[in-house]
Amino acid sequence: MLVELERLTAFAERITQADTRDAVWNIACDHFAEVGFDGIFYADLSAHNAVVRTNLEDCWTDHYAAEQYFEIDPFFRHSCNRLTVSPTGEKYFDEHPYLNCEERRFILTAGETGMKAGLALPFRIAGPEGVGGWNVLTTHGREIVEQHRGDSGRAVYLAALLTHERMRNTVDKHDKHQRLRLTERETETLHWAACGLRNKEIAEKMRVSAATVEFHGRNARHKLGAKTREQAVAIALTRGLIAM
């Protein structure tokens, strides 16, 4: 327990000194990796903003988008219904008998990345104001997860909450619109939209499915507070987030 406290204290010192979101994110990923969680998913979704980050491979995130898994992901459906730490992944099917066949298939597909166990660390219960939380995953199975359940899990949860606060309140000095930063995929989607391409044509340019293009376009609109694709393009161009 003393080692965990010392590690958490050192982490808190590092992350409070970080002055950009990228720095905060990288410090958090390194910290979680140190305690055995090598796959990180973070989502902070509200009516006014949407921030989603992960260190998982692009091939998985593109597949997630193309299959519209966000609509059936048990992390959003179940794990974020209460502010408690809970295990995730196929290694914990026995603790989640309520999962339906569709949800179990999704978890098994996700497990093909090697991430078969993890911990859900929610910070906003799903509701009208949005949803938010971390799903920290591991390729090391139940052993790592069990080390961080119960009282031992408080250190991981505190690290996740601290990182969320830093992610929420840190704005890069060189970018006053940092809170609206677009991902590479979202930027590319809006760029091609600005050039007059439709979703099917954009999909061909990006070598992804039309559903993936719609997913990234919807995320971009949500982040920018835009109701239409055209409005999102106009906002992004005005703020210098994309170029023609």
Mean pLDDT of the chain: 88
Q: Looking at residues 6-25, what average pLDDT do you find?
A: 89
CA distance 235 to 241: 8
Q: Give residue 180's Cα distance to chain centre.
A: 15
Q: What are the residues whose beta carbons fall under 8 Å from the beta carbon of 164, sequence distance 6 or more? A: 42, 44, 123, 132, 134
Q: Give residue 76's Cα distance to chain centre.
A: 11
Q: What is the pLDDT of residue 24?
A: 93
Q: What is the pLDDT of residue 7?
A: 86
Q: Is pLDDT above 70 for 173?
A: no
Q: What is the pLDDT of residue 244?
A: 65
Q: What is the pLDDT of residue 36?
A: 95
pLDDT tens-place string over residues 179-195: 467 889 999 999 999 88
The residue among 104 and 241 whose pLDDT is bigger is 104
Both tokens assigned to 98: 């309520």
Map tokens 């491979």 to a residue: 57
Q: What is the pLDDT of residue 130?
A: 86
CA distance 46 to 77: 16
Domains of the chain: 2-169 (3.30.450.80), 182-238 (1.10.10.10)
CA distance 162 to 196: 42
Q: What is the pLDDT of residue 123?
A: 92
C-alpha pair distances (Å), 223 with each of 16, 96, 105, 191, 217? 25, 33, 30, 16, 10
pLDDT tens-place string over residues 41-100: 999 887 667 788 999 988 888 888 888 888 899 999 999 999 999 999 999 999 999 999
Of these ranges, 12-16, 100-104, 170-174, the one predicted with the greatest mean pLDDT is 100-104
Q: Among residues of the chain, what percentage have pLDDT more than 70? A: 93
Q: What is the pLDDT of residue 176?
A: 47
Q: What is the pLDDT of residue 4?
A: 77
CA distance 129 to 20: 26
Q: Is pLDDT above 50 for 117?
A: yes
pLDDT tens-place string over residues 17-50: 998 889 999 999 999 999 999 999 999 887 667 7
